[in-house]
Amino acid sequence: MTASAAPHSWPKIGEFDVAHLGIFDFTGNFREKRIDASAFQTALKSGWHFIDALPFWMHDETCFEDRGFIDESVAIDEAAIRPYPFEPGACLAIGEYSGPSAAISPRATLTRIVDKAAGMGFQAIGGFEFETIFLDETGPSLREKGWKGVAPAFTENRCWSGVAPAADAAYFAEVQEKLRAAGISLNHHCMELGPGCVEYTLGPDPIVKAADDAALFKTFTKAMARQHGLTACFVSQLDDSFPGLCGHINMSLRTADGEPVFYDESDPYKLSKTGRAFLGGIVALTPELMCMFASTVNAYRRLRPGNWAPRAANWGIGNYTCGVRVVTHNAKETRFEFRLPGADVAPHTATAMMLAAGLWGIENDADPGEPVDGNGRLAEVSPDHALPISLEEAGHRFAKSDAAKALFGEAFVQHYAARCAAESAAFHAHVSPFELARYLETS
């Protein structure tokens, strides 16, 4: 897996007029403030503060715990400052809580796992692959329709079509140019399964930047769609008439000197001992850590018959039907493609899960077992490798996981399990049209 160089020069301090400074929350959204250059200079020199509510912030703009929120210190990652592609003379800067919330924040948690990898002599490289459905809808039209009967854009689209990219070339070129301007490398994009569906594969980078890029890709793609009167949808399962949407993570390890460590020409599957153990950790821990990459109720609807999504923590060589697709074309390109996450994935939390599970595998010499030969969606799964079927179940398993507590800390596990419980409770408190249609006249 070859990491790409940044396609531009990062801005230097003082080369911009305004900064968009923010923090990634648990939903993967970038919560920011637009501040002028002098205020940003002061923040860099003397520190910044942000309300400590973000770890408790939910999709519906509420907090799952009501508490006495206060300002908390924030550390600005100067190495991550990048151009802001929507405003000339502007930059984007990423902060992380540096007080008590650091123990439960997604990007800070990923950074700790990256530091652990460095202590073991490894650096992680990765990149995300997303499917999105573009809707011929705006915010007002979606609300007028009650989120039902939504109309896709690119209605004549076919999977891997050459017509749709040509017909809408100007729009797709604009998307790529905006991403490039923000330092997000786009490996490729193509039309996917059905009206409105497009796949984007981001180029590989050091894993924290890869997670930053993935979250910002979603933010910027949604913003550009809105500018054109469209909506970019990253819901894992929009409804029964649309395909499930992926948020795959590709990952590999290198030595501190940059040498790939997963490949072994002499192995029947071209995997090194380290690679097999890393893979074994992912296979072993996915069932109990699943809520870290499937953190919405909707994410579990994608993992069902009728979709291309895998349904088990299994693996195969080049096998698109398995939870982990192992690619071993050569040493530099050898990587693990984690295919279970959906498009609603929160990149930092999911990446922390995958990397931590793999490192656990190396520490414990985990055996991934034999690869699946054939349809991994239909392969027999042992009870200990069965995946949770709901966010509620996944949250319960995570809360009880000794591995999770060892990898992420007791505070993180308790906090994240409480988030999952709150999200699940919000869903169960809602009476759906399905229930009324099914039971109102027949009960």
pLDDT > 50? residue 270: yes
In the chain, the N- to C-terminal Cα span, in Å, equals: 57
Q: What is the mean pLDDT of residues 336-354?
A: 98
Question: Residue 5: what pLDDT?
Answer: 38
Question: Residue 382: what pLDDT?
Answer: 84
Question: Residue 12: what pLDDT?
Answer: 63
At 385, the pLDDT band (50, 70, 90 cuts) reads confident
Residue type, 135: L
Question: Residue 97: what pLDDT?
Answer: 97
pLDDT > 70? residue 13: no
Q: What is the mean pLDDT of residues 172-201?
A: 94
At 11, the pLDDT band (50, 70, 90 cuts) reads low
Q: Structural domains in the chain? A: 18-100 (3.10.20.70), 114-435 (3.30.590.10)
pLDDT > 70? residue 39: yes
At 194, the pLDDT band (50, 70, 90 cuts) reads confident
pLDDT > 60? residue 157: yes
Q: How far apart are CA 57 and CA 375, in angstroms?
A: 39
What tens digit of pLDDT does each residue of 129-142 get?
999 999 999 999 99
pLDDT > 60? residue 4: no
Question: Residue 302: what pLDDT?
Answer: 96
Question: Residue 306: what pLDDT?
Answer: 87
